[in-house]
Amino acid sequence: MTSSDDELYFLSARAQGELIRTRKISPVELVGGYVDRIRRYDPVLRAYITVCGEQALAAARVAEREIAAGRYRGPLHGLPFGVKDQICTAGVRTTLGTRVITGRSSDVDAAVIEKLKAAGAILIGKENLHECGKGGTNVFPYGQPRNPWDPERTASSSSSGSGIAPAAGLCSASIGEDTGGSIRGPAAVNGVVGLRPTYGRVSRYGAVMYAWHSDTIGPVTRTVADNALLLSTIAGHDERDALSSARPVPDYLGALTGDLRGLRLAVVREIARVDGVHPDVSEAFERSLEVLRSLGAEIGEVSLPWARHAIPLQMLTSDADSASMYLDALKTQWDVFDVGTRTRMATAMLVPAPVYSRAMRARALVRGQVLAALKEWDALICPTHHKPPGLIDDTREKVESKADVAERLILRRIGTHTFGASNVPTLALPMGFSREEAMPLSLQIAGRPFNEETVYRIGHAYEQATVWHTRHPDLDRTLARFTGAAGKAR
């Protein structure tokens, strides 16, 4: 647990915003404290690629003057946020987590950055990620992302820095990107809340997306209410993104009633009830079901036979999309790419067009089963991951055998890819800790398209009935233990 000195930096964004609104703290104090914490802890955690310390402090001074003059913009005014470094920001480089010269970054603010800045939020840094936002990176060009609960353990998939930063108290909230689980995975292993919104709910203008059929931008936060607040800010139609939805943005915060009476939730058998689920995950999940029942929800079970096919279908199609974007760079800068990135892209180049077409049609079958289940049930629930966060070296995607395919590629994705392939809103949030390692475990809630309100309602009611969101890593202790062990190893 954290010390009392850290309390301000682990408060919810809404609580921090209220302190700023009532002028009990200033944006300069909050941003300055986060900049100091990044300097202190991020050399080990590597949540950030670029830290905008001076720019953030200058923006905080402007926010302080605006608020003093009565020009308060709302609950995000003066709060610092980080953003995955595949989302473009004017005046701040966008690396895509690679040393490869891609020619794809742009010196503009993405739509989500525009909206956050308009709400008074302050960009504090660009967050670390798997190379080109793909997942499967073995050697990170800008430093190995590390889990704040145990730096020897994984920070999970592509939006790794976006999960580390709010979990470690290095920003008020983050923005990540999710194709098959790149928001939900880092949220799960770092013990925070992450939402993959409905495809089209948030504009992707100004972000570098490689899987056009399923990439989404979403918030990563310390609480469900914070997540709802962030989505309320960044959601909405944008004519610059032809695939963004024109549906009106609902009142997500208003949906957080704490009451689940009348809601019908189904456990996905092929995800939650299969071989390979760690006993600690199973136990925590069953306890979660009891909590949900106690809040008034009806719990049942549903079968999605095509769920097990979602992983190869999602990887085949999205990897082929990515390879098409980086074809020239792969030809000229092969050795600059991480071996994990280039291997997956090169393999995807060998996929014939008829196979790609059939895979896209098969994805529609996965989605069809999910949507059919959601006609009967209000939400689908399962663990986000089947195992507690593993050691970094054990989770690298080094595929040298069929057993490696099952363990390193398939099992860790089985909870998330079904809903990514289905393009439905899906929330990951804390549901406990493993017994031996004391590492975060995560519950996942998937809902009907454009029905984030119900997903948030369920997640918030569960969160408020449990204590998991109140626990935060003691960075001084864990980092001292880690650096001491590293020193002994040397």
Contact 242, 344 (CB under 8 A): no
Active site residue 422: no
Q: Chain-centre distance of CA 486, in angstroms?
A: 28
Tell me, yes or no, if 105 is annotated catalytic: no
Catalytic residue among 12, 84, 174, 232: 84
Distance CA 145, CA 47 (A): 6
Q: Which residues lie below 8 Å from residue 117, measured CB to CB, with a gap of 6+? A: 109, 123
Q: Could you tell me if 431 and 401 are in contact, meaning their C-beta atoms sit under 8 angstroms apart?
A: no
| Rg, Å, the chain Cα set | 21
- Complete edge-to-edge strand list for the sheet that includes strand 379-383: 48-51, 122-127, 80-84, 173-178, 216-221, 193-196, 426-433, 440-447, 379-383, 264-268, 298-302
Q: Which two tokens stand for residue 304?
A: 């999605």
Our separate counts of H helices and E strands in the chain read 19, 11
* Residue 392: its H or E element: helix 392-395
The interaxial angle of helices 279-294 and 452-464, nearest 10 deg, is: 100
For the chain, the straight-line distance linking the first and the last C-alpha, in angstroms and rounded, comes to 29
How open is the CA angle 172-177-179, to the nearest 5 degrees? 150
SS3 364: helix
Q: Which helix (H) or strand (E) holds 132?
A: none
Cβ 195 vs Cβ 427: under 8 Å: yes
Catalytic-labelled residue, pool 159, 182, 232, 322: 182
Query: Phi and psi (nearest 5°) for 84?
Result: -55, 135
How many other CB atoms are found less than 10 A from the CB of residue 465?
Answer: 14
Q: Is 117 a catalytic residue?
A: no
Residue 279, both tokens: 């006993």
Closest CA relative to residue 162, chosen from 106, 56, 85: 85
Catalytic-role residue among 158, 318, 434, 442: 158
**Rounded Cα–Cα distance for residues 336 and 3 (Å):** 42
Both tokens assigned to 39: 């300097």
Record the tokens describing residue 246, joined without a space.
């024109």
Q: Provide CB contacts within 8 A for 16, sequence distance 6+.
A: 8, 25, 30, 79, 172
Distances (CA, A) of 481 to 149, 276, 473: 11, 31, 13
Write out the catalytic residue numbers.
84, 158, 182
